[in-house]
Structure 1
């Protein structure tokens, strides 16, 4: 067909196939009442005419948009960005399109506007990737009638949720240092209003108390520069610190750089454990011991839960992934 000519419509298909336009509509919506011979004739007419169905019109007719929404914060960080990517891949494989709306979880207006924008599009389900309590609570209040899955947030037993077991990660990091003979172990946490930060800190604190040791916590904010700043300001001798569990790899990398500039040997003088297993951690000096989060698996499992719920096939609500300890050269026996 000439690219400048009028695009074929449902009536053109009906004329060529010698059926009514209602029959063409039933074929488009996979109505089981249509005979195979009629269906084949309509599909052949569509192919010959180069007809492409109007998705918006089909959505209005069927109440199915095949659109999903992702409400996400902190997509400039590797973890959330990776989860969004793999969720989009999984959704497309099942015939769904994804609209991602980035929000500032600390601004109520930003969260509310993001939710309203996605709901106006007629999404059939929503994924929420934000660790801030206030943003998740806003979704619970404002979203009804569609399934919602949360990723890496606090959840209730009746809700769809996928998360990393951050508590067990904090335990693994701390126990690794304790097993190496460290007793004065400092934890540099993430921000207090992040779920994953508080649960990693809880795992650290639990392990320290169970071992009869005193927890020491400094609050951080996930940034490279913060790890670097704390690394330069920290008086290791005054506190007798020989081990650190740092709540994410970005801060740990900054801290490692500060130790190198100060001439503090890692792991001879101080051992360091991070969290995330970013690609860069293999190439720091020394390579960083860390907890591995599988962001791809998180995203894929979250989308699987959401699509199963939409289709009525859901058999579970919660899915937790345990992070794996990756031992490299930044940890060693406590100095004597």
Structure 2
């Protein structure tokens, strides 16, 4: 049986009073009689009603708070998205609580429960890890998921496979036939599994021999694992900016720099590295859209919306 999400209007109807009276009880207005307060509070307790903290906060009743669950704070892409989100939230005078899941589904469930206990009813979840829709649907408040598509949950997601294909296609058009790939472990559903699968699909379609290594999401991993790619390769594709930075360091030390493509943008790389192909994945756009969708929910629009963020190839 589906749990009912009670509103102030529902409570007022059950108590046979006006919504304003229920609001005064919730806000501890001393003008409400003790008898009325007890009557309304008893109904609130019996149905487990929890007021929408974010919506009340937007009306100036209390401090607005939004919970944000990121995968890893050292991810370049997530950091860009988070930075855009924070700017948009601060503009609305909303305070974020930021926690890290480290690609662990159980941690996501734990953080959602923690937010519930603290009466935080609006959250943004970065969905790079394999994330069950069942876990997310247990959340009864406002929610937007970033990076993953869900049919029944509002989300802002990327074209991971299309982006890798576009970069491979550009390298292929330049005449490269031995293209190495530095990717992320499959425990990362989007940056990892989906991007790697796109690389492998391109290789199969164009009869290229795959040459790839999967590793962690940081610069040192890119440096260490670039050496593990089979030789020779005449171009390199990196799944993330962090891996690209590490790979460039390795290739320059080996004096074997070659054309390199990656998802993301890094001004220093673009300034110092020749023959570089970067791709604006829309991280900042995703952050702004996620906040906009969340604000719509806070203000009463509960329509599920999915928005695909487009990328731009440089």
TM-score for the superposition, normalised by structure 1: 0.69
2:274 pairs with 1:286 = yes
Q: Deviations over 1:132-155 (max 9, x none)?
A: 114x55742542x212111113x2
Q: Which moved more, 1:205-214 or 1:180-189?
A: 205-214
- Aligned match of 2:217: 222
- Aligned match of 1:167: 161
Q: Indicate conservation of the 8 Å contact 2:211/2:229, yes or no.
A: no
C-alpha deviation, 1:180, in angstroms: 0.8
2:265 pairs with 1:296 = no
- Aligned match of 2:247: 255
Structure 1 counterpart of 2:100, from 102, 110, 120: 102
Q: 1: CA distance between counterparts of 2:246 and 2:160? A: 22
Q: Indicate conservation of the 8 Å contact 2:227/2:250, yes or no.
A: yes
C-alpha deviation, 1:65, in angstroms: 6.4
Q: 1: CA distance between counterparts of 2:279 and 2:99? A: 29
Across the aligned residues of Structure 1 and Structure 2, the Cα RMSD in angstroms comes to 3.1
C-alpha deviation, 1:277, in angstroms: 0.9
- Aligned match of 1:211: 206
- Aligned match of 1:180: 174
Within 5 Å, which residues of 2 pair with 1:26-37? none
Q: How many residues align?
A: 264
C-alpha deviation, 1:280, in angstroms: 2.8
User: Relative to structure 1, is the Cα distance of residues 141 and 162 closer, same or farther in structure 2, using a 3 angstrom cutoff?
Assistant: closer
Q: Deviations over 1:303-325 (max 9, x none)?
A: 11111123233666111112222
2:265 pairs with 1:277 = yes
User: Relative to structure 1, is the Cα distance of residues 228 and 88 closer, same or farther in structure 2, using a 3 angstrom cutoff?
Assistant: closer
TM-score for the superposition, normalised by structure 2: 0.73
C-alpha deviation, 1:95, in angstroms: 4.8
- Aligned match of 1:133: 130
User: Relative to structure 1, is the Cα distance of residues 98 and 140 closer, same or farther in structure 2, using a 3 angstrom cutoff?
Assistant: same
C-alpha deviation, 1:290, in angstroms: 1.6
C-alpha deviation, 1:287, in angstroms: 6.3
C-alpha deviation, 1:170, in angstroms: 0.6
Q: 2: CA distance between counterparts of 1:316 and 1:119? A: 21
2:64 pairs with 1:84 = no
Within 5 Å, which residues of 2 pair with 1:40-51? none
Gapped regions of structure 1 (runs ≥ 5): 1-21, 30-54, 327-336
Q: 2: CA distance between counterparts of 1:112 and 1:321? A: 26
Q: 1: CA distance between counterparts of 2:80 and 2:257? A: 33
Q: Indicate conservation of the 8 Å contact 1:129/1:152, yes or no.
A: yes
Structure whose CA Rg is larger:
1
